[in-house]
Amino acid sequence: MLTVLLFISIFVVFMKYLIFDFDGVIANTFEAYVQFYAEQRKISPEKSTKFIINHVLHNNRPTLIKTVIKNLYLPKLESVILKRQNTLNTDLLNNLRQIKYPKAIVSRNNTKLIKILLSIDQQQLFNYIFGYNNSKSKVAALSYICLQNKVQLDDILFVTDTVGDVIELTGLGTLKKDQILGVTWGFHSRNLLETVLPSAQIMDTNKQLINTIAKICSNT
């Protein structure tokens, strides 16, 4: 009996899939977006900040990428982001190496830009890097990953910084709320995230996030 239980538990642990949003979780791009949008629309940084925060409250709005950036503006956004220092959350990326579960990035950013920011070594941490050019929505990307890897949606743990992601991923019942962790170093504050997630699922530091992921994975 014990052997059977052990086998089942090892099997379940093996199935866990960790999926990370990119902007605001792995990359500190908030200020770059504010600067880019303010310059593009010739508006104040305050107005731009408000727009960016509101924009990611819902993922069903026409995306910033589609409405403002498009291919024409991508080089401009690229240069704004690349000129900034310390964009990557390297501490988180380094710590993710210790976590031996399959990982993916599912983002609404441009895949090429994500890959420019990540070194080859960092890219290899992830089995998939999906930007908006690879899938029409985050739900679609998650479904694809599950299908390709024969894992269930129930096995996913998703990490995000925005209310919009939580609404999109739980809206159609794709994920349950307890499969989502929020982080407060991105585009949305703890107060905003608490409108959609329990306080205990919102992380303030990389260390807290890594420890929580490790705990959830070992409990499965």
Which residues of this chain interact with Mg ion, rule CB under 5 A?
Answer: 21, 23-24, 161-162
Q: What is the chain's length? A: 220
Residue 204's alpha-carbon distances to 86, 148, 155, 177, 220, in angstroms, are 18, 33, 24, 18, 23
Q: Among residues 55, 73, 71, which one has the least CA distance to residue 63?
A: 55
Q: Is 22 helix (H, G, I), strand (E, B) or coil?
A: coil
**At closest approach, how far in Å is the CB of 193 from Mg ion?**
11
**At closest approach, how far in Å is the CB of 207 from Mg ion?**
20
Question: Closer to Mg ion at the Cβ: 122 or 162?
Answer: 162
Give, as one character, the DSSP assignment of residue 88: B
**At closest approach, how far in Å is the CB of 136 from Mg ion?**
17
Q: What is the dihedral of CA 24, 145, 90, 119, to 10 degrees?
A: -120
**At closest approach, how far in Å is the CB of 107 from Mg ion?**
7
CA distance 24 to 13: 27
Question: Closer to Mg ion at the Cβ: 87 or 220?
Answer: 87
Provide the CA 16 distance to its chain's centre, in angstroms.
16
**At closest approach, how far in Å is the CB of 161 from Mg ion?**
4
**At closest approach, how far in Å is the CB of 22 from Mg ion?**
7
Residue 118's alpha-carbon distances to 100, 124, 149, in angstroms, are 19, 9, 24
Question: Closer to Mg ion at the Cβ: 161 or 168?
Answer: 161
Question: Closer to Mg ion at the Cβ: 11 or 62?
Answer: 62
For residues 142 and 152, the answer to whether their CB atoms sit within 8 Å is: no
Give the side-chain half-sphere CA count within 13 A for 31: 9
Q: What is the dihedral of CA 161, 164, 169, 173, to 10 degrees?
A: 130
